[in-house]
């Protein structure tokens, strides 16, 4: 069974939480001083750079680490029809992933954190298939209405981060989490300074060995709210989870690939340039196949409705998933509706091309664990047969 290393208590560690009011106040001042004006423009000088660099030196280790595999584990998995089950995940090999991120804790209207309710079976899954346990904070939400609400709650957090920072620290200590993944979808350009200040306060308050990652969008023009120069210093040996999927869905009038190799690799190249360190980037894959109801082929109009089904569920049901000749994407037909998938063969091909194109990456992840069978999980590990 995969063991979860429980974080030491504050007494055992000799670590104490700093006064959050002072930390956040300093963070806001430094972020505003070093990151330019509220429009997101860089100032002529960067007086905060020394402070960020000092924090990074105090709280980080080398970024030269082997590629890591990560899976997000939704706490609602058993409630969602046809996206996998905890029972199936218990059949995976021990330590299938380096990290499993429990998803999601969410910001609330008061600017604090609502922790996820984790079932006994979900806990057993994490214990078995993960070497480390992470806490996911945020997420998109189940629909547009919930997404809008989450964005409003994040705005409250950025205005007054103290409560959220304290709640995350408490959750880490109580739950034995070794990583924290911030999945704010997405800070706007005018929120860049506030978001950097929030991350500064969070990094200052968390134990130094708690790894911080950020889930970031792949689409060009969607990352204006991230000050990567400052964030690179703050997250140190952490990194970025590039959500290189969801290119098509109910919001697009025609059926299309949820992800395809060309778009993924183009976006990856752009993000590497923006971040400046390929080893900080983990490339994401979606284990969920999307049924475009009424669409007869890729590029045809659909009925405005889609359904998400786990790749593992399709394979169990005997559905044939077909790779395109160039291994850029995959598809299936479900009740005559064209369905976009990403097969393990495509995952391997994209990873090979990504490594050839961009050099070493920080790792690879899947959204989400429920849709990924053993073959899919193995495909995330370059060189695995």
Instruction: Spell out the domain ranges in the chain.
Output: 20-37+47-243
Residue range 171-199: mean pLDDT, rounded: 98
Q: What percent of the chain has pLDDT over 90?
A: 79
> Does the structure show a pLDDT above 60 at 258?
yes
Class in CATH terms, 20-37+47-243: alpha beta
Residue 358: which pLDDT band, with cuts at 50, 70 and 90? confident
**In this predicted structure, what is the pLDDT of residue 203?**
98
pLDDT digits (tens, 9 = 90+) for 31-78: 444 443 333 333 333 434 434 444 544 333 333 456 899 999 999 998
> Does the structure show a pLDDT above 90 at 342?
yes
pLDDT digits (tens, 9 = 90+) for 206-240: 999 999 999 999 998 999 999 999 999 999 999 99
Dihedral of CA atoms 337, 342, 345, 348 in degrees, nearest 10, equals 170
Residue range 148-172: mean pLDDT, rounded: 98
> Does the structure show a pLDDT above 80 at 82?
yes
pLDDT digits (tens, 9 = 90+) for 262-290: 999 999 999 999 999 999 999 999 999 99
Determine if residue 149 is left, alpha or beta; phi over 0 gives left, psi from -120 to 50 gives alpha, anything else beta: alpha
Q: What percent of the chain has pLDDT over 70?
A: 82
Alpha-carbon gap, residue 273 to 382, rounded angstroms: 23
> Does the structure show a pLDDT above 80 at 377?
yes
Residue 8: which pLDDT band, with cuts at 50, 70 and 90? very low
For the chain, what is the mean pLDDT? 87
> Does the structure show a pLDDT above 80 at 104?
yes
Contact assessment for residue 113 and residue 107, using Cβ atoms and an 8 Å cutoff: yes
Torsion sign (Cα): 31, 37, 42, 43: negative
Range with lowest mean pLDDT among 21-35, 58-72, 297-311, 356-370: 21-35
Picking from 382, 28, 367, 60, the residue whose alpha carbon sits closest to that of residue 232 is 60
Residue 20: which pLDDT band, with cuts at 50, 70 and 90? low
Residue 27: which pLDDT band, with cuts at 50, 70 and 90? low
**In this predicted structure, what is the pLDDT of residue 64?**
45
> Does the structure show a pLDDT above 60 at 15?
no
DSSP annotation of 298: T
**In this predicted structure, what is the pLDDT of residue 341?**
98
**In this predicted structure, what is the pLDDT of residue 22?**
53
Q: Render 239-280 in DSSP notation, one character per residue.
A: EEEEE----SSTTSSB---S--HHHHHHHHHHHHHHHS-GGG
Residue range 161-167: mean pLDDT, rounded: 98
Query: How far is CA 216 from each of CA 183, 267, 275, 319, 358, rounded to the nearest angstrom?
Result: 7, 12, 11, 32, 18
> Does the structure show a pLDDT above 60 at 30?
no
pLDDT digits (tens, 9 = 90+) for 180-190: 999 999 999 99
**In this predicted structure, what is the pLDDT of residue 60?**
39
Dihedral of CA atoms 102, 107, 113, 117 in degrees, nearest 10, equals -40
Q: Where are the alpha helices (DSSP H) in 15-91?
A: 20-34, 49-59, 86-89
**In this predicted structure, what is the pLDDT of residue 80?**
80
> Does the structure show a pLDDT above 70 at 315?
yes
């Amino acid at each position: 069974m995969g063991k979860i290393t429980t974080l030491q208590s504050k007494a055992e560690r000799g670590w104490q939480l700093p006064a959050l009011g002072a930390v956040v106040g300093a963070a806001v001042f430094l972020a505003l001083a070093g990151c330019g004006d509220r429009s997101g423009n860089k100032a002529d000088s960067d007086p905060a750079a020394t402070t960020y660099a000092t924090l990074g030196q105090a709280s980080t280790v080398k970024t030269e680490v082997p590629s890591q595999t990560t899976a997000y584990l939704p706490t609602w998995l058993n409630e969602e029809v046809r996206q996998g089950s905890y029972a199936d995940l218990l059949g995976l090999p021990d330590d299938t992933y380096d990290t499993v991120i429990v998803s999601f804790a969410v910001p609330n209207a008061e600017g604090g954190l609502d922790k996820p309710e984790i079932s006994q079976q979900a806990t057993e899954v994490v214990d078995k298939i993960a070497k480390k346990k992470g806490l996911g904070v945020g997420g998109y939400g189940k629909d547009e209405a919930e997404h809008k609400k989450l964005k409003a709650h994040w705005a409250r957090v950025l205005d007054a981060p103290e409560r959220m920072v304290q709640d995350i620290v408490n959750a880490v200590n109580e739950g034995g989490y070794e990583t924290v993944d911030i999945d704010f979808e997405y800070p706007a350009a005018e929120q860049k300074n506030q978001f950097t200040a929030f991350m500064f306060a969070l990094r200052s308050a968390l134990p130094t060995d708690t790894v911080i990652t950020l889930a970031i969008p792949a689409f060009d023009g969607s990352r204006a709210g991230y000050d990567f120069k400052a964030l690179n210093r703050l997250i140190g040996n952490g990194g970025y989870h590039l959500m290189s999927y969801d290119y098509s869905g109910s919001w697009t009038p025609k059926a299309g690939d949820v992800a395809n190799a060309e778009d993924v690799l183009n976006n990856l190249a752009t993000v590497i340039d923006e971040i400046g360190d390929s080893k900080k980037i983990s490339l994401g894959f979606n284990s969920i196949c999307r049924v475009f109801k009424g669409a007869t082929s890729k590029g045809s109009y659909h009925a405005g409705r889609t359904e998400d089904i786990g790749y593992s569920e399709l394979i169990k049901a005997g559905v044939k998933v077909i790779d395109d000749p160039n291994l850029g994407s995959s598809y299936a037909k479900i009740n005559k509706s064209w369905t976009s998938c990403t097969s393990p063969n495509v995952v391997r091909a994209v990873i090979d091309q990504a490594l050839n194109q961009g050099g070493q990456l920080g790792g690879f992840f899947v959204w989400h664990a429920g849709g990924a069978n053993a073959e899919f999980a193995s495909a995330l590990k370059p060189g695995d047969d």
